[in-house]
Amino acid sequence: MNPKIVSDIMTKEVVSVFPETSLFEAAKILYKNRFTGLPVVDHDSVLIGLVTEYDLINMESETPTHIPTLQKMFQTIPAEGGQEKEIEELFLLKVVDVMNPDPLVVSKDATLEETIKIFKEYHRVNPIPVIDSQKKIVGIVSRSDLVKFFTEFPVTMERFMPLVEKVIAKKADKLVTKSVALLEERYQLVNKISEIGRGETGEHFALFNKLISAITGAISIDQAMGEVVRIICSSTNWILGEIWAPHDRGLFLRFKHAWPVSDHELVKFIDYSRSFVFAPGEGMLGRIWLSKNPEWENDVSKTSESSFLKAKFAEESNIKAAFGFPVLDSGNNVIAIIVFFMQKANRRDEGFIRFISAVGKGLNLFLRYKLLEERIVLLQSAVGSSSQGILITNPDAEIIFANQAWENITGYTTDEIIGKNPNQLWGGHMPKDFYEKMWQTIKVDKKPFVGEVQNVKKDGTKYWQADYITPILDEYGEIKFFLSIEPDISDKKLKEQFKDEFVSIIGHQLRNPLISISWLIESMTKGADLSEDDKRKLQEIYTQNKSLHSFVEDLLMLSRAGKNNLDRQKVDLKDEVGAIVKEVQEQNPKVKISFSAKGRDLSMLVNRSMVIQVFANLIYNAAEYSDKEFGKADVKLEETGSGVLFSVHNNGPEIAEADKPKIFSKLFRSDVAKEYKKGGTGLGLFIAKSICNSFGWEISFESGAGQGTTFYVKIPI
């Protein structure tokens, strides 16, 4: 099976509840199965809502109450007078009283790509109910289902590779820059942490060194925090450490880990911790979360429960002093809170607080390091799995990295090419000006270069590749690396060659007979004594023949479009456009055509026939589709700060809104075009657009009712 839609990967056995289900029954199901939410359905299995852990919190009281905690309290604490009715009402609550009646859902026919986008947009929602066309629930899909899909069906990643490759092409330079930052971060991490703790002496200094070693040797932030708790609890008078982290979409703190977990006197206190949640500002942990500052309590067993929610349980476990501090990420967000406890009262120790603050900064640096490392792993994974060859060189063009696809394309191994210049191995097969332009673009202008180049594989076979070369710059704007993405386009070039040969052969085989037919008809109409009916028929044949000849010429021009690197010469745009205007005016005497050119130098090195094709097409169109009675066309050339702007405006009918997106499409002719001119090919604007794209020019247009139409060509210097 090759999974393509949500129904292929979703969990089909759904645990759901009815709207009339008891709220406590729903809470038991959530608690027992460790679910975060339950679909609510009617008796026809139609989804009508969703109930989550968040919904099972009494939001009307000042202190939110977690249901599992409340259940334990009911079991252990007798109800005081006057509370029986309140508790009874609580037990009578139904799911319908708290559920979300409009939950986020996904169709069973949604593609995996669409599902990924939903999870990305609603990153805090997990899982999501899956429904059919009748809104009946048919499954549940979670992030873990997607992870399992990518694990069990790696071949389907090929469907996502175009997206991955686009990401690589667009953002690889940033990721490579970050990989350099990672190496620098790795090099500086221990020094930075050490600098933080240089003020520590004696016992704190030795403990700090021990913590440095543990933090820098950890493989994850969770392990690093766990080591901090273990080392401090085993080396100081703090006998218990707990780690808490934001959960439930960042609404509450939940218990995550404790050390030690085997001490008999502390097990009960830890069990109490597991059943608690804290909102921002609630209790000691909530205050630390909200303020992002450490907090010290001399004796929590003597504080009020509103100040320390577990005060009663602390007294039972002989817990006295407490100290907690936040762990922040690079965005200054709290990702965890670490709290320590003593079995004796202890006054605030400013030296220890400074010491722990230094540890917190060390964890922050470690987290930044790990985030960078994860991004580099992502880069390596994307680059390694790409079907396109990827090469990285230093500023001297010495190769420092090549991915597996590149090895597969060229036949060289990484060991054979590391440290060498590409020209020493396979380059040098393109014209000199190609390489001059490439180095000018990437090394002098420090801009990306796009081109097609012929190289030689290790076995001597010639092949074509596309080159997308990007200079990677440091913070001072200096080049650190060159990143080149090099897909093999040999098959594409071969197909283009076959197409060009086919079009050329067919075109020339048709062109000569068509010219002969035109000459023959012209001779017949001039020299023969023909009836009016015969003249009409010959004229019709002549018109159709001319239309076919025009189509063949367009076909041949289309086959050459995009090859602007051939047969280039210096062209004065003012002279060429002026000549075209004169020719068009002669053939359209009823249309008033004006031409103006502003600028000292309007010449450039291009393929002349292609340039003439673009401007002739636009100017002829402007004349032929101008107002039928008072036709007018204005042609302008103007030198700008960034190049030359060509424009041609006419006073003809507007281009319909529905036709605008298709105006440059192959073989497209609008209703207005068909009315004005019979027998057009529908290739003119398509060819003009293709040629402009190959030159790096930008072609566009504006059209409105009563305003006519203007076509623009922006020509960069």
Answer whether residue 247 shows pLDDT above 50: yes
Specify the pLDDT at position 417.
87
Superfamily of domain 181-375: GAF domain (3.30.450.40)
Q: What is the DSSP letter of 460?
A: S
Q: Please answer whether residues 703 and 572 qualify as being in contact, where contact means their C-beta atoms are separated by less than 8 angstroms.
A: no
Q: Parse the chain into domains and list their residue ranges.
A: 6-152, 181-375, 387-488, 493-560, 568-716
Specify the pLDDT at position 62.
40
Give 423-472 pLDDT, tens digit per residue.
777 767 888 888 899 999 999 999 999 888 888 888 888 888 888 899 98
Specify the pLDDT at position 380.
61
* Average pLDDT score over the chain: 79
Specify the pLDDT at position 371.
66
C-alpha–C-alpha distance, residues 331 and 207, integer Å? 28
Which pLDDT band holds residue 161 (cuts at 50, 70, 90)? very low
Pick the more confident residue, 540 or 55.
540
Class of domain 6-152: alpha beta
C-alpha–C-alpha distance, residues 619 and 585, integer Å? 10
Give 576-595 pLDDT, tens digit per residue.
999 999 999 998 999 999 99
Both tokens of 2, joined, read: 């090759």
Amino acid at 18: F
Which pLDDT band holds residue 54 (cuts at 50, 70, 90)? low
Q: Is 51 helix (H, G, I), strand (E, B) or coil?
A: strand
Measure the CA dihedral 600/605/611/612, to 10°: 70
Give 645-660 pLDDT, tens digit per residue.
999 999 988 888 888 8
Is-same-fold flag (181-375; 568-716)?
A: no
**Inter-CA distances, 336 with 97, 235, 609, 639, Å:** 33, 22, 68, 61
> Containing H/E element for 605?
strand 603-607
Give 384-418 pLDDT, tens digit per residue.
667 788 888 888 889 888 888 888 888 998 888 88
List alpha helices for 561-702, DSSP H.
Answer: 573-587, 608-624, 671-676, 684-695
Which pLDDT band holds residue 566 (cuts at 50, 70, 90)? low
Which pLDDT band holds residue 117 (cuts at 50, 70, 90)? confident
Specify the pLDDT at position 529.
75
Class of domain 493-560: mainly alpha
Domain 568-716 has CATH 3.30.870.10: no
Q: What percent of the chain has pLDDT over 70?
A: 76
Answer whether residue 196 shows pLDDT above 60: no
C-alpha–C-alpha distance, residues 167 and 518, integer Å? 55
Return the sign of the alpha-carbon dihedral for residues 489, 494, 500, 503: negative
Q: Please answer whether residues 161 and 168 qualify as being in contact, where contact means their C-beta atoms are separated by less than 8 angstroms.
A: no
Residue with tokens 């808490």: 244
Give 272-311 pLDDT, tens digit per residue.
899 889 999 999 999 999 999 999 999 998 888 888 888 8
Give 213-244 pLDDT, tens digit per residue.
787 777 778 888 999 999 999 888 899 999 99
CA atoms within 13 A on the CB side of 210: 17
Both tokens of 350, joined, read: 């400013």
Selection from 375, 388, 367 nearest residue 466 by Cα: 388
Both tokens of 330, joined, read: 């690079």
C-alpha–C-alpha distance, residues 521 and 546, integer Å? 11
Per CATH, which fold does 387-488 belong to?
Beta-Lactamase (3.30.450)
**Inter-CA distances, 605 with 23, 159, 600, 654, 717, Å:** 79, 42, 16, 35, 10
Dihedral-angle region of residue 549 (phi above 0 means left; psi in -120 to 50 means alpha; beta otherwise): alpha
C-alpha–C-alpha distance, residues 129 and 39, integer Å? 7
Q: Is 68 helix (H, G, I), strand (E, B) or coil?
A: helix
Selection from 245, 217, 244 nearest residue 231 by Cα: 217
Both tokens of 703, joined, read: 């059209």
Give 332-386 pLDDT, tens digit per residue.
889 999 999 999 999 998 888 888 888 888 777 777 766 666 665 656 666 666 7
Q: Please answer whether residues 614 and 713 qualify as being in contact, where contact means their C-beta atoms are separated by less than 8 angstroms.
A: yes
Which pLDDT band holds residue 66 (cuts at 50, 70, 90)? very low
Specify the pLDDT at position 201.
43
Across the range 155-162, mean pLDDT stands at: 39
